[in-house]
């Protein structure tokens, strides 16, 4: 398959890629910067989360945060999520990166939206390897109701 690159300054591209991730065949890996609530309506974000639960899509998420407050009302999401804290000295997460199937989406929402998506199996495989390497050095977090999380002692 030939590769495809998508660039956008529209927040809807971020919501769209997250919507497509509900069909991920082998789970989702995320370098986490923030939750979906900042780029789409709460209703849309919760709808995507409900679809992830219904499809039983596993989610592995790396974050620089040491704890997180609850951010969803969707029951069952916490059973699909694994989170780990990565020390910013090892890996500073300055962009959200979503990796699933042959898709890698890199985005940031600050004063404007900056979105880049690469659809290419070899690129996605390399990004999964990088994620897994960082994952192996990161500290496990306990994920509770509503997605609240804290580093396990």
Residue 4, Ramachandran bin (φ over 0: left; ψ between -120 and 50: alpha; else beta): beta
| H or E segment and range at residue 77 | helix 77-80
Is it true that domain 4-151 has CATH number 3.40.50.1000?
Answer: no
Q: How many other CB atoms are there within 10 angstroms of residue 100's CB atom?
A: 24
Please tell me the distance from the alpha carbon of residue 39 to that of residue 14, in angstroms, as a whole number. 7
Query: What's the pLDDT score for residue 110?
Result: 77
Q: What are the tens digits of pLDDT across the range 86-112?
A: 999 999 999 999 999 999 999 988 778
Three-class DSSP category at 114 = strand
Parts of the chain with a pLDDT under 70: 1, 35-38
Query: What's the pLDDT score for residue 3?
Result: 92
Query: What's the pLDDT score for residue 36?
Result: 57
The tokens for 77 are 């999401």
Query: What's the pLDDT score for residue 35?
Result: 60
For the chain, what are the domain ranges?
A: 4-151
Q: What are the tens digits of pLDDT across the range 33-46?
A: 876 556 778 888 88
Global pTM? 0.92
Q: Do 118 and 16 form a contact (C-beta atoms < 8 A)?
A: no
User: To the nearest 5 percent, what fractions of the chain are helix, strand and coil?
Assistant: 35, 30, 35
Query: What's the pLDDT score for residue 111?
Result: 76
Query: What's the pLDDT score for residue 67?
Result: 87
Query: What's the pLDDT score for residue 68?
Result: 85
Query: What's the pLDDT score for residue 112?
Result: 82
């Amino acid at each position: 398959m030939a590769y495809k690159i998508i660039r956008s300054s529209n927040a809807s591209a971020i919501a769209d890629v997250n919507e497509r991730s509900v069909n991920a065949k082998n789970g989702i890996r995320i370098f986490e910067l923030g939750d979906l609530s900042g780029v789409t309506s709460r209703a849309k974000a919760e709808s995507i989360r409900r679809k992830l639960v219904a499809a039983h899509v596993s989610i592995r998420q790396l974050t620089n945060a040491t704890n997180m407050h609850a951010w969803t009302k969707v029951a069952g999401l916490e059973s699909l999520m694994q989170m780990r804290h990565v020390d910013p000295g090892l890996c500073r997460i300055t962009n959200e990166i979503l990796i699933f199937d042959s898709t890698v989406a890199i985005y940031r929402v600050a004063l404007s939206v900056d979105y880049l998506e690469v659809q290419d199996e070899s690129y996605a495989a390399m990004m999964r390897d990088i994620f897994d390497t960082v994952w192996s050095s990161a500290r496990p977090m306990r994920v509770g109701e509503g997605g609240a999380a804290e580093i396990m002692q």
